[in-house]
Amino acid sequence: MLSNSSAIADPSVEAALCALEAGLVQVSKVRTDALSSRDRLTALTRLEAVARTLPGLGLGLVAQLREQWSVEDFGRAGVSDVLADTLRISPAEARARYRAADDLAPRTSTSGTAIEPVMAATAAAQRDGAIGPAHVQILREFFHHIPACVDFATRTRAEVELAQHARMMRPDKLRQVADRVDAILNPDGNFTDADRQRRRGFTMGRQGPDLMSKCTVIADPELRAYLEAICAKYAKPGACNPEDANPQVDDEPDPDAVRRDSRSAGQRQHDAVKAVLRATLASGDLGQHRGLPVTVVVSMGLAELEAAAAQATRAADPYGERVTFGRPVVTGGGSLLPIRDALRMAAHAHHYLALFDNADGRPIYLGRAKRIATADQRIILHAKDIGCTYPGCAKPGYLCQTHHRNEWADGGTTDADQLTFVCEPHHRMAGTRGSDWTTAAAPPGHPKAGRTQWIPPAHVDPHRTRRMNSFHHPGEYLTPDSEFGGGLQEFVQYRCSTTAFDGKPATG
């Protein structure tokens, strides 16, 4: 059965949605065994048209929500936040629909007059079920990448013509036509500063299973000039080589260092940028961010630190390096860092150290090596919460604000055990009204006593079930007390600790 949690006050809209849902249920129950292949293809075509039409209808609702948004209905949460939580879609998908509504949904003027969508021809083709999401993406990318020198009338004509082609073409063929039209509109490749600034970007991809990240850079001429200067010095053979016992950074690499260097050009450039960023952080010239010096914050429990010290062993490999085992720790930026790298980074600079008792998470030591901190409580939150505590949020501590779990307006105190990390968008969603999310500490006796729990408003969850975020505490996944299973993490750690570096089980 389709989910139908609540009725709509307008009887015509309610009747139309009920008919749609009933029709889908009926279609899902029909048997197609006796159909001919031609009829099956016809049925697929009609289903595809329906599936293509629905997103356009949804964008119209998104646009209306945005135009008539009221904090009285949904609290201080934004449209994208409410869409993500209520529809159970990712925040990225919610933001994508929000932006798509700018191009493809009708708008209303201040006088109440209906205005055609910005990309009217594309929106019409979507409403007709003639084009799918891939077509729409190509058309929107084309429209937004047209150089600023192209006048409005030409831009509109190009969008109309491409939308007509999209009604008859596959997305891959449409992409070829769009590229050809782009070349016609700008045959000489003339781009203004505004065009270049619009295209610039740096995207840091997600970490893979090996904790490596793929980054994509579209550099403007100025950034490229900086990178060229950095690589000219620090990416030369023999410089900044992490395989050397004492990597040469400032001095000219000696012939032996150059001869030992087996890195590729790409690896040398990677190490050069890393060396410059490390030096910049260590310089102290970056000021402060949210009350703390700009630096790398690594959060680990006493158990991780003791295990790393106990399991540091000399591996039987050709280099005789000391290899440290243990599960990764979490940085203030939300990434996972191998504990071996964390200990090596600590050798360069000791900024802050916060250790927590393994039994109840109570802070037992807070040290400051370089200067007296004015944000001790925030340091504790970096170690306790690590990142935003809102359920499912991946925002790291660097991007979080401190929040009173018991609202300040209700007499909440600014004590370390009463504060929690919340990113700015989710901080706006917390409050005391019925449409707001509320926060509380997990009570004594709870498996994670003291951790922050979020209680959703009734429009998100009628039962107002308490929720907790485990994203920043990866050690809680796949553990014996996990609600989804248990013991797998311990099994993997056991296998890793009893496996030699050649992949064969260790003996003795």
Looking at the structure, tell me whether residues 388 and 457 fall in a common domain. Answer: yes
Of 283, 310, 331, the residue that ends a domain is 283
Name the DSSP letter for residue 443.
Answer: P
Which domain, by its residues, includes 443?
A: 298-476
DSSP-based three-state secondary structure for 483: coil
Of 213, 214, 252, 259, give the one whose Cα is nearest residue 234.
252
d(CA 59, CA 64): 9
Looking at the structure, tell me whether residues 262 and 394 fall in a common domain. Answer: no
The two three-digit tokens of residue 447, written as one number: 């498996």
CA neighbours closer than 13 Å in the CB half-sphere of residue 136: 27
| Residue 245 main-chain phi, psi, to 5 deg | -60, -40
Looking at the structure, tell me whether residues 143 and 263 fall in a common domain. Answer: no
Question: Would strands 329-331 and 336-337 be described as parallel, antiparallel, or unpaired?
Answer: antiparallel
DSSP-based three-state secondary structure for 125: helix
Would residue 52 count as lying in a domain? yes
pLDDT value, residue 309: 55
Can you point out the beta strands (E) in 106-192? 107-108, 114-115
pTM attached to this predicted model: 0.53
Looking at the structure, tell me whether residues 132 and 263 fall in a common domain. Answer: no
Looking at the structure, tell me whether residues 276 and 303 fall in a common domain. Answer: no
pLDDT value, residue 61: 92
pLDDT value, residue 190: 64
pLDDT 10s digit of each residue in the chain, 508 long?
455 567 888 899 999 999 998 999 999 999 998 999 999 999 999 999 999 999 999 999 999 888 888 777 777 778 888 888 888 888 889 999 999 999 999 888 777 788 899 999 999 999 999 999 999 999 999 988 887 778 888 889 999 999 999 999 999 999 988 888 888 887 766 667 777 777 788 888 888 888 888 888 988 888 999 898 888 888 889 898 888 877 888 778 888 888 888 999 899 999 999 988 888 877 777 887 776 667 777 766 656 666 655 555 444 344 444 444 556 777 777 777 777 777 667 655 444 444 444 445 444 333 323 322 235 677 778 878 888 999 888 888 888 888 888 876 777 666 667 788 999 888 888 888 888 899 988 888 888 888 899 998 888 888 888 988 888 876 676 555 544 444 444 444 444 444 443 444 443 3
Exposure pattern of 299-315 as b/e (b: 16+ CB <10 Å)? bbbeebbebbeeeeeee
pLDDT value, residue 317: 43
237 neighbors 261 (Cβ within 8 angstroms): yes
Looking at the structure, tell me whether residues 279 and 360 fall in a common domain. Answer: no
Looking at the structure, tell me whether residues 332 and 451 fall in a common domain. Answer: yes
pLDDT value, residue 248: 80
Amino acid at position 10, single letter = D
CA neighbours closer than 13 Å in the CB half-sphere of residue 210: 3
Looking at the structure, tell me whether residues 15 and 111 fall in a common domain. Answer: yes
Of 109, 142, 174, the residue that ends a domain is 174
In 299-436, which residue ranges form alpha helices assigned H by DSSP? Answer: 302-311, 339-346, 376-384, 424-427
Looking at the structure, tell me whether residues 38 and 126 fall in a common domain. Answer: yes
Residues in contact with 504: Cβ distance below 8 Å, sequence separation at least 6, in sequence order: none
DSSP-based three-state secondary structure for 320: coil
Question: Would strands 352-356 and 363-368 be described as parallel, antiparallel, or unpaired?
Answer: antiparallel
Would residue 211 count as lying in a domain? no
Residues in contact with 53: Cβ distance below 8 Å, sequence separation at least 6, in sequence order: 126, 127, 128, 129
Would residue 343 count as lying in a domain? yes
Looking at the structure, tell me whether residues 324 and 453 fall in a common domain. Answer: yes
Count of domains in the chain? 3
Looking at the structure, tell me whether residues 263 and 340 fall in a common domain. Answer: no
Of 395, 448, 452, give the one whose Cα is nearest residue 426.
395
Looking at the structure, tell me whether residues 442 and 307 fall in a common domain. Answer: yes
DSSP state letters, 224-279: HHHHHHHHHHHTSTTBS-TTSSS-BSSSPPPHHHHHH----HHHHHHHHHHHHHHH
Taking residue 356's Cβ as centre, other Cβ atoms within 10 Å add up to: 20
d(CA 422, CA 395): 8
